[in-house]
Amino acid sequence: MLLADKDIKKALKKRKIIIKPQPNLDVALTACSLDLRLNHEFEVFEHSRIPFFDPKHINIESLTKKAKLYKQRFFILQPGELALASTLEWIELPDDIAARLEGRSSLGRLGIVVHSTAGLLHPGFKGRIVLELGNHSRIPIALYPKMRICALSFEPLTQPAQTPYAKKKGAKYAGQTGVSGSKIHLDY
């Protein structure tokens, strides 16, 4: 069951769900989701530097190029390209609510996807959401900082999680403040 717009407003007002800065609810709030905006930092893979990804021995920092944009600039996402970015908003979920990350229909119709597989925010998540942006179109697409890029829907749990994400030992992405690449090598 998803939280309805009235319940999302109530959770934000009571600070059960924390979003900083809080989006303009007149624009961002829909019947059962909340739009979030794109931050100004991107990471793009420099695919010509390695022959393949090895999940056991990956060093993302050496394989990506960082780009920081300012208000007047935009980022061009090339066809077939994967770029990492993050939401402008910092999110804090309580121990009894999970969230689902979804793309926006208007951008999806241009070929933009916002996540490859990581669409679940666990209860207790705190941080900015890292987006796995892809362009399935054959045309490059301009992305602007502060544009509405994705939506969150909120799902109450049957009871509070026994081990919320931020309290889980080895939570690789807890407290991320911006773009953070894969830490899959820590699984080995």
Angle at alpha carbon of residue 62, lines to 103 and 39, rounded to 5°? 30
Q: Is 139 exposed, middle or buried (0-12, 13-18, 19+ CB in 10 A)?
A: exposed
92 is catalytic: no
Torsion sign, CA atoms 173, 9, 154, 104: negative
Instruction: Give the CA distances from residue 122 to residues 9, 88, 155, 170, in Å, rounded to whole numbers and listed in that order.
Output: 20, 19, 10, 14
Backbone angles phi, psi at 146, to 5 degrees: 75, 0
Peptide bond into 140 cis (omega under 30): no
Neighbours of 23 (CB within 10 A): 18
DSSP class of 31: S
Q: Which of 92, 102, 132, 155 is catalytic?
A: 132
Active-site residues: which are they? 132
